[in-house]
Structure 1
Amino acid sequence: MTGPEHVDMARAQVFGEVAEVYDAARPGYADALVADVLAYAELGGRTALEVGAGTGKATVPFAELGTPLVCVEPDPRMAALLRRNTARFPGVRVHVGGFEEWHPGGRRFGLLLAAASWHWVDPGRRWDLAHAALAPGGAVALFWNPQGVRDPGVHAALAEVDACHGMSGTPHGEPASSYGDEAGNWAGLPGWPEEECRRDGRFTDVRGVRHRQELRYDTERYLGYLASLSRYRVLSPDRREAVLADTARVLEAHGGGIAMEHFSDLFLARVR
């Protein structure tokens, strides 16, 4: 995950093309992370707001614990899967549209959460929008799933594939050893929101929490995961097919998959 300084709308709007693949291949979020968010937010029955809910990878574990949610998702194809995945939860409501155009309508929420989506929100407005949506003392929970390759040989071989095809910022672009111990240490990648949030000045009690686990993908699932990413979606079909085919050859030569160190990095803050 990278956090661009401006929002590339061409990339932000491609996920719906492969909504089913996205839903099947993307990793979810650690149960411990969900528990951390709810303990911090102390909702007490208040409703949470989810920004860029996608197909519900984060929505479902919160809903399973009884959290009522309003989910804002800009892509109607993703929102259709989100509705399907949350149909059994009467407390989940879905709004199709961008967070920048959505209005709380006088409501104030106890929690705003964004799972690997905050970097797609307009950087010039996102903290204003969050502040306007939250009740006094309301919590912000932003989280991502950065990953690092555990096997240095696999990492080196995939780096050659990426260099050959001019790819950068891929999930296998960093070895697991390059990550530090603290949340937000993403091997030099930008995007961790702490500095931006502190600079805003309207939020306090800032925290970072990291959970980690080993995650192994077989070749088919990993290719599906890559195919769901914006940096692969914006490639021409021929170029995307070539990159994925060369990636598959590396994985098949190394046991038919890839072992990743999977981090769940959580940023927490609350309205003063």
Structure 2
Amino acid sequence: MVDRGRGRVFGEVAEIYDAARPGYPRELVAEVLAYAALGDRAVLEIGAGTGKATAAFAEAVAELVCIEPDPRMAQVLRRNTAHRPGVRVHVGSFEDWRPEPDGREVGLAFAATSWHWTDPQRRWDLLHDVLAPGGAVALFWNPQGIRDADLHAALSAVDARHGVSGAPHGVLASSFGEVPGHWAGLPGAWPQEECNRDGRFRDLRSVRYRQDLSYDTHRYVGFLASLSAYRVLPADRHEAALAETAEVLEAHGGGIPMTLFTDLFLARVG
């Protein structure tokens, strides 16, 4: 069962989310659009957030409908896409959204680190109903792993004291497999098995992009503050966990070396 309430805690820190979360590679956008072969069909984004993926797609498509359930996130999304007249923002859930009767056919539906918040009992039916014949779906995530084993151990001790699970630094970058979707950050989230069981989609593909990056202490703590693993903690434990994490980072040179794995899943309606 999906905890959809937990999926909507991000609006409390919409500005932090927008500033601290990493974006997505332009190579991914090009790969998705080449696969989709849109023509004049529209694009649908599921769980757009503040637009971390939206902006890059909006540069390349004529019409992009963004679904975002949290009005606070949608407000930032509207600001970030105000210069893109082809972007329309719908505040609500994917499960409740219906295309306009006179709207263009949807040739691509994509979800950037949001598919795991949708209803697993309905999402493939909804995708099938929304997409035009031959339409494509692109689902992608940005899991991260820490490259420093000693720093990993020190930060894991902080997490254990405060009951934090699923932090990016909780996984070593070296533990990621070579196959897209083989990561520990979102167990069960990789969609290939579900898609295969559904049976109405074909031409399944998986692609991985990798980037080494480093955060300074301020940006990394801001990033953590935007994650549901921290947002759901009681206020005192939330603040203590972030403060102690900052202390550890400062003691290890004032930052954290991470590897960003952007994993992409593609399929199209048969």
Q: TM-score, normalised by structure 1?
A: 0.96
- Quote the Cα distance in structure 2 between the aligned partners of 1:104 and 1:68: 13
2:43 and 2:61 in contact (8 A); partners too: no
SS, match of residue 95 in structure 1: strand
Q: How does 1:124-135 map to 2 (within 5 A)?
A: 124-135=121-132
Q: Which residue of structure 2 aligns with residue 162 of structure 1? A: 159
Q: Which residue of structure 1 aligns with residue 192 of structure 2? A: 194
Deviations 1:85-143 (Å, cap 9, x if unpaired)?
00111110111111111112345300000000000001100001111110000000000
1:53 paired with 2:48, answer yes
Task: Give the residue type in structure 2 aligned to 1:132.
Answer: D
CA RMSD of the aligned region, Å? 1.1
Deviations 1:5-46 (Å, cap 9, x if unpaired)?
x21123111111110000000000011111110111011232
Task: Give the residue type in structure 2 aligned to 1:95.
Answer: H
Q: Which residue of structure 1 aligns with residue 3 of structure 2? A: 8
Note the C-alpha offset of 1:168.
1.2
Note the C-alpha offset of 1:67.
4.4
- Quote the Cα distance in structure 2 between the aligned partners of 1:45 and 1:176: 40
Q: TM-score, normalised by structure 2?
A: 0.96
SS, match of residue 78 in structure 2: helix
1:10 and 1:234 in contact (8 A); partners too: no
SS, match of residue 170 in structure 2: coil
Q: How does 1:252-263 map to 2 (within 5 A)?
A: 252-263=250-261
- Quote the Cα distance in structure 2 between the aligned partners of 1:82 and 1:183: 28
- Residue ranges of structure 2 left out of the alignment (5+ in a row): none
Q: Which residue of structure 2 aligns with residue 26 of structure 1? A: 21
Q: Which residue of structure 2 aligns with residue 36 of structure 1? A: 31
Q: Which residue of structure 2 aligns with residue 181 of structure 1? A: 178
2:42 and 2:64 in contact (8 A); partners too: yes
SS, match of residue 13 in structure 1: helix
1:70 and 1:93 in contact (8 A); partners too: yes
- Quote the Cα distance in structure 1 between the aligned partners of 2:122 and 2:217: 39
SS, match of residue 255 in structure 1: coil
1:54 and 1:82 in contact (8 A); partners too: yes
Q: Equivalent pairs: percent with the same residue?
A: 69
